[in-house]
Amino acid sequence: MICSSVASLFLLEVKQMIHDIPKPEISPNFTIDDIHKIREWHYEILKDATTEERMNFYNGKANKFEKEMGALR
């Protein structure tokens, strides 16, 4: 139970980091500039993050994706 509480705290911190930096606006045509904007946004979000915070950030996104894909099956 302690591990899940710690993980929840880290996820809250990561969510706070994300909210401090606005998401980039993506054009309807999705160009190479949009890819650069996304990469820069990810860099800014994660540049001061610890390894554990990075893992929580990416694993959280992956888990959400897996749940959405499971719902479509």
Q: Is the pLDDT of residue 27 over 70?
A: yes
Percentage of residues in the chain having pLDDT higher than 90: 41
Give the structural domain span for 55. 2-72
Q: How many residues does the chain have?
A: 73
Count the domains in the chain: 1
Which residues make Cβ contacts (< 8 Å) with residue 34, sequence separation at least 6?
24, 26, 27
Distance, CA of 36 to CA of 10 (rounded, Å): 27
Residue 1: predicted pLDDT = 47
Of the candidates 44, 43, 26, the one whose C-alpha atom is nearest the C-alpha of residue 35 is: 26
The structure's pTM equals 0.57
Percent of the chain with pLDDT over 70: 74
